[in-house]
Amino acid sequence: MAKIMAVANQKGGVGKTTTTVNLASCLAAAEKRILLIDIDPQANSTSGLGRFPKEDEPTIYEVLIGEVKAPDAVIATDLPFLNLLPSHVRLVGAEVELVPMVAREHKLKEAVELVKDDYDYIIIDCPPSLGLLTLNTLTASDSILIPIQCEYYALEGMGQLLNSINLVQRHLNPDLSIEGVLLTMFDSRLNLSRQVADEARKYFPDKVYETAICRNVRLSEAPSFGKPIILYDILSTGAQNYISLAKEILSHG
């Protein structure tokens, strides 16, 4: 049965999609069976794996509103152990369409029930907000991985995210835990990066990964080629960072 992990932070530009795509790919390269679910209407995880669903192809949107079962919307990627449940811009409408539904926060959880026995890990890319799509993800997940960029105001808004996690734990998913906190856009030459790392370790004792994701040009180029970093440039710093993160997550079990 799969371990279900949400990659979430309501701040944009912190490396959520980069982390989702590249962590999923590195775990797949380790021959773990992985399903990446893209629940962000921007669909950047989908395009980052070189997939662009047509109007008539099912996506997570059709799954959430109950038109299609999750197994029928899953597609293959260029990595043998990595499958994708893609997103599409029409997912924007789901926030509104879910509102009147019974048990609206449980739609993704119900969908995932049908596929979770087929995978070792299910990794979900959340939108940069705390709306119904993110709530669905946190309700369906076992744990949450929080990327934090090493910049000013990095921990601003963390209280809001932790508050949301507490609310979900209290009302929807008591078993939700914090998987770990990942430092992204790290530059060891900058005092600021080191200060943010120290602050994060104080704020999240024992939860910050030893692996940090360094600033890396190849990492930011890869999505425009529709490839995860290990297929675009496996020797790059970015690829080595994500391989190291995957090992760390596998060692934690």
Whether 2 and 119 have beta carbons less than 8 Å apart is answered as: yes
> How many Cα atoms occupy the beta-carbon half-sphere of 237 within 13 Å?
13
User: Would the pLDDT of 253 be above 80?
Assistant: no
Q: Residue 75 above 80 pLDDT?
A: yes
pLDDT value for 190: 87
How far apart, in whole angstroms, are the C-alpha atoms of residue 123 and residue 154? Answer: 23
Residue 41 banded pLDDT, cuts 50, 70, 90:
very high
Examine the pLDDT at 155 and tell me if it is beyond 90.
no
Average pLDDT of 108-129?
A: 96
What are the domain boundaries of the chain? 3-252
Where residue 222 falls among pLDDT bands split at 50, 70, 90? very high
- Other CB atoms within 10 A of residue 18 CB: 27
Question: How confident is the prediction for the chain on average, in pLDDT?
Answer: 94
Model pTM score:
0.96
Provide the pLDDT confidence category of residue 186 given band limits of 50, 70 and 90.
very high
**Percent of the chain predicted with pLDDT > 90:** 81
**CATH 3.40.50.300 assigned to 3-252:** yes
Question: In a 3-state reduction of DSSP, which class is residue 64?
Answer: helix
Question: Token pair for residue 166?
Answer: 């507490």
